[in-house]
Amino acid sequence: MTSRVCLASVCDKRIAKAVGCRCHKPVWEETILAETQTGTGGLLSIPALLHRNATEFGTVPAFREKEYGIWQTWSWIMVEQEIQALALGLLNLGVNKGDFVAIIGRNRPYLYWSMVAAQSVGAVPVPLYQDANAEEMAYVLDHCGARFVIVEDQEQVDKVIEVQDQLHQFEHLIYLDPRGMRKYDHSHLHEYSHVQNQGRAAHDEYIKELEARSSALTYDDTCVMLYTSGTTGKPKGVVLSNRNVIESSKASCAFDNLSRDEEILAYLPMAWVGDFIFSVGQAFWAGFCVNCPESSETLMNDLREIGPTYYFGPPRVFETQLTTVMIRMEDAGNLKRRMFHHYMDHARKVGPDILDGKPVNFMDRLKYKIGDLLVYGPLKNTLGFSRVKVGYTAGEAIGPEIFDFYRSLGINLKQLYGQTEATVFIAAQPDGEVRSDTVGVPSPGVEIKVGDNGEVFYRSPGSFVEYYKNPESTASTKDADGWVATGDAGFIEEASGHLRIIDRAKDVGKMANGGLFAPKFVENKLKFYPNILEAVVFGNGLDECTAFINIDLTAVGNWAERNNIAYASYQELAGHPQVLSAIQEHVEEANRSVAEDPMLSGCQVYRFVILHKELDADDGELTRTLKVRRRIIEDKYSDIIAALYDGSPKVSTVTDVTYEDGRKGSISATLEIRDAAVVAVSQKMAAE
Amino acid sequence: MDEGYTTTDGRKIGGVVMEMKNITLRFGGVVAIKDISFDIREGEIRAIIGPNGAGKSSMLNVMSGFYVPQEGEVWFHGKPRPQMKPYQVAQQGIARTFQNIALFEGMSVLDNVMTGRLTQMKSGLFAQAIWKGKAEAEETENREFAEKIIDFLEIQAIRKTPVARLPYGLKKRVELARALAAEPKLLLLDEPMAGMNVEEKEDMSRFILDVNDEFGTTIALIEHDMGVVMDLSDRVVVMDYGQKIGDGTPDDIRNNQAVIDAYLGVSHD
């Protein structure tokens, strides 16, 4: 502890030059490496990191939020004061050590502070998905037994009140936005700013208690509890300790040289482990600034204004952006369009190599420079990626074309493999070793092994403590030696040491003829077409594979407009014969690509149908992180699946849907089933 | 004068803000409104409903001072209101939206909302043109208010978008924003939900309730959608063929035989 403070205070910019270090970080990082096992010099919790940041570089921006059209900024000192006021207010309301404090809302500084305030009074923050419906929330709130719930606005208040009878430990509800709240019964409802004011007023009474509780936090205390989205069954509460979070943040910051100069945009769900690590773990560790968008609709504009240096997005975000760019380029003038395509072709050829520092001849470099001036630079600026130093995509496989598009522009987009139970990081791609088909090498401090059944296991300082109140699941996931099962099937490539993930282990099956069945592998190939938003492939234990397709309304809608095809709804467009033919071409092309893989050539899609509705998390068909829930889809659409296999050309079906306001309804449709050409694999092999 | 009443959801409704006394409005030989009286109380949401051609919009135009009735008087804050120019109406704290959206199509949403602040601006044309001193401070102040309204109506994402590029539902919302920017005491809404889909209607209803709740604005609205009216308003006036056929709480109206006849139709013999 003493050595750290001493070095850091010495390392002021002038002296730093004299002793040959460029900034604070390297100095204290070296000293703390030795202290890893016991925590780093007293920095055993997020509140401790906050205090360090406020003391050492207190005037540097810590949080920003765009409100009333202006970016409002809070420095680390201000953040510490805000969090302290809230923590005192929570003590005033009677929060106990070990209580669970649920947090529900979109990314807002106040809600991040709520998490840290909860930690500083010894309570455990539990962020929830804000778009979860009331029943989903009731399960989680009751499972963790949250006494306090901190929410963003009336919408969330209503949901909690709706289910409060099912919640046994629930006592206090704190809301951020007072709008529309006047008429509510305020006996156990509190406004966020009032709680803070009461906390400030009771400063002298509770400050000793607060300090005692904050300083009592150990490296093994729970830092946060995050519920997994649950592709199967009920969500599970993953308990992460301070050690998990701080060690993972430290290692990953070092891996990508993240410093306090980074800017990030916090826009992914707060309940997701990634957001917790980026916007809290890494942000508090490295001391960089977290920017919160004005609203979900202004996201792209806010992204452009902030120009983050460190960016994170699931593949879907990158896909959507690319689709938008392509649509807008098709609407652009002839000259612009030709210039765009000419230089993008060049970028695809040499861009990734230039990014990786590989040798590229002078003329190509020159042309790339010109392209940068005319096309890539302005495009990156429009996308908000001008300043991105490191960008990550994770959660799902990303299409190689999409991945290469961003990399060819000179954006250092990389892949990451992780999960909640690992505190995100299992494997990541180092600079210069980036490929679209692997997820990289084991992250620092992570050991990886592949089981006999092909399942990937890991052991790391970030491995979760347990599933809350669920020892059976904990035992079946994490063994006595600390190896955690990922549930994913994959292998380590001999030549490069990179990890490759094939599919969820439980989804991998066998075709009737004994060939390997890996639905995700095929689905990803299909989803890489901009017209296809989602695909679900069936065929485990059967002779042939079939697929459900969801079209991308933006891309297909634009195409329809261009070709004067009128449509009134998603359903109508999805059933249009020309759309079916276009999708059929995609499926057949994907089949040709699947046929090239010797292990998985049996997974070609013989028949497919375009669903009459988009798969939706509100209907339980996707998780809140937008992953496909296979079992539920198989049950719900069993009639369509049956029709896919009995050879009928059409199927009539009625589907229950949930509207955004929670009402239920049903839609009926007659869907056309198409056959897709497949490549005869055995013949092909014979021909070769 | 009486003291108002308390609504079913516990809101206190104050004294009379505007009172229509025996209004008759004629266009040549056509009688658009025939001897109608009703009042609007402070803080309430007052709806005027009726079938097509009942004279609802004419009534709203009388309230806003745009039409001058041949007979009867409009009392505002306890005094008979003289004939006024539109800007005088605005200065009195009355703002309105239109059935057929009347925004400046070429201007951005923000600029449109700012025009709602014009009555609050005191500095002269010259001071605004050279953009110095008081004019600048005033602009900042008004922009801040406009931003609060933009935030309130959740139209941040289209702040800088020209109005012409917006879909219909959003234009309606922008119009409401402009009316709110004038900080009205009485807000007149002419079919705020006409031509909207269910989701847009729900949003708009929520905004109207929130405006009433948050700013305490008295709201008078014309609407076709009976479901919306019954959910939103505290008291309802029903018109048919220029005459008032009902006045009371939504429950009263629902059980009023004359209203049922007007909406479901009976043979006129």
- Judge whether A679 lies within some domain: yes
Q: Which amino acid is at A85?
A: A
- Measured distance CA(B265)–CA(B259) in Å, rounded: 9
Residues A460 and A572 in one domain: no
Are the CB atoms for B166 and B158 separated by under 8 Å? yes
Provide long-range contacts, Cβ within 8 A and 24+ apart, for A580-584: A580/A610, A580/A672, A580/A674, A582/A531, A582/A556, A583/A531, A583/A532, A583/A549, A583/A551, A583/A608, A583/A610, A583/A674, A584/A608, A584/A674, A584/A676
Structural domain ending residue among the three candidates A475, A504, A533: A504
The pLDDT value given to residue A37: 43
**Distances in whole angstroms, Cα of residue A482 to Cα of each of A219, A237, A244, A325, A501:** 18, 18, 13, 45, 21
The answer on pLDDT for B27 being more than 60 is: yes
The pLDDT value given to residue B4: 78
| Residue numbers of the domain that contains A378 | 299-504
CATH label of the domain that carries residue B159? 3.40.50.300
**A494 lies within 8 A of chain B by CB:** no
The answer on pLDDT for B264 being more than 80 is: no
- Measured distance CA(A363)–CA(B259) in Å, rounded: 82
The pLDDT value given to residue A683: 43
Structural domain ending residue among the three candidates A504, A528, A560: A504
Contacts with A297 from chain B: Cβ below 8 Å: 156-157
- Judge whether A262 lies within some domain: no
Query: Does B157 sit within 8 Å of A297, measured CB to CB?
Result: yes
Nearest CA-CA distance, residue B148 and chain A, Å:
6
Tokens 């420095």: give the residue: A75
- Judge whether A260 lies within some domain: no
Query: Does A297 sit within 8 Å of B147, measured CB to CB?
Result: no
Nearest CA-CA distance, residue B53 and chain A, Å:
31
- Judge whether A263 lies within some domain: no
Nearby residues of A216 by Cβ (< 8 Å), 6 or more positions away:
A122
**A665 lies within 8 A of chain B by CB:** no
Residues A534 and A668 in one domain: yes
Structural domain ending residue among the three candidates A504, A524, A550: A504
Disruptive mutation site among A65, A66, A67, A68 for chain B (greatest number of B CBs within 10 Å): A68
- Measured distance CA(B264)–CA(A656) in Å, rounded: 33
Selecting from B9, B148, B210 the residue whose C-beta is nearest the C-beta of A68 gives B148
**Distances in whole angstroms, Cα of residue A286 to Cα of each of A57, A71, A312, A422, A432:** 11, 22, 16, 20, 23
The pLDDT value given to residue B267: 63
First-to-last alpha carbon distance for chain B, in angstroms, is: 41
Residues A220 and A306 in one domain: no
Phi/psi zone of residue B93: left (φ > 0), alpha (ψ -120 to 50 degrees), beta?
Answer: left
CATH label of the domain that carries residue A518? 3.30.300.30
Residues A430 and A560 in one domain: no
Residues A462 and A514 in one domain: no
Selecting from A67, A69, A182 the residue whose C-beta is nearest the C-beta of B159 gives A69
The pLDDT value given to residue B217: 93
Contacts with B8 from chain A: Cβ below 8 Å: none
Chain B residue closest in CA terms to A177: B152
- Judge whether A344 lies within some domain: yes
What are the tokens at B102? 């009347």
Chain A residue closest in CA terms to B8: A183
Identify the three-state secondary structure at position A655. strand
CATH label of the domain that carries residue A434? 3.40.50.12780
Query: Does B202 sit within 8 Å of A179, measured CB to CB?
Result: no
Nearby residues of A174 by Cβ (< 8 Å), 6 or more positions away:
A114, A148, A149, A150, A151, A189, A190, A191, A192, A195
Q: Which amino acid is at A323?
A: T
| Residue numbers of the domain that contains B248 | 5-264
Residues A117 and A94 in one domain: yes
- Judge whether B269 lies within some domain: no
Identify the three-state secondary structure at position B104. coil
- Judge whether B56 lies within some domain: yes
Which regions in chain A score pLDDT beneath 70? 1-41, 230-232, 682-688
The pLDDT value given to residue B118: 83
Residues A470 and A559 in one domain: no
pLDDT top residue among B251 and A49? A49
How many distinct helices (H) and strands (E) make up chain A? 26, 28
What are the tokens at A296? 């979900």
The pLDDT value given to residue A371: 94
- Judge whether A256 lies within some domain: no
- Measured distance CA(A368)–CA(A360) in Å, rounded: 10
Nearest CA-CA distance, residue A432 and chain B, Å:
38
Residues A212 and A345 in one domain: no
Residues A201 and A345 in one domain: no
The pLDDT value given to residue A238: 95
Residues A633 and A668 in one domain: yes
Identify the three-state secondary structure at position A219. coil
Disruptive mutation site among B156, B158, B217 for chain A (greatest number of A CBs within 10 Å): B156
The pLDDT value given to residue A583: 94
Number of folded domains that form chain B: 1
Residues A519 and A495 in one domain: no
First-to-last alpha carbon distance for chain A, in angstroms, is: 67
Chain B residue closest in CA terms to A179: B214
Number of folded domains that form chain A: 4
Query: Does A661 sit within 8 Å of B210, measured CB to CB?
Result: no
Selecting from B9, B156, B199 the residue whose C-beta is nearest the C-beta of A298 gives B156
Contacts with B9 from chain A: Cβ below 8 Å: 183
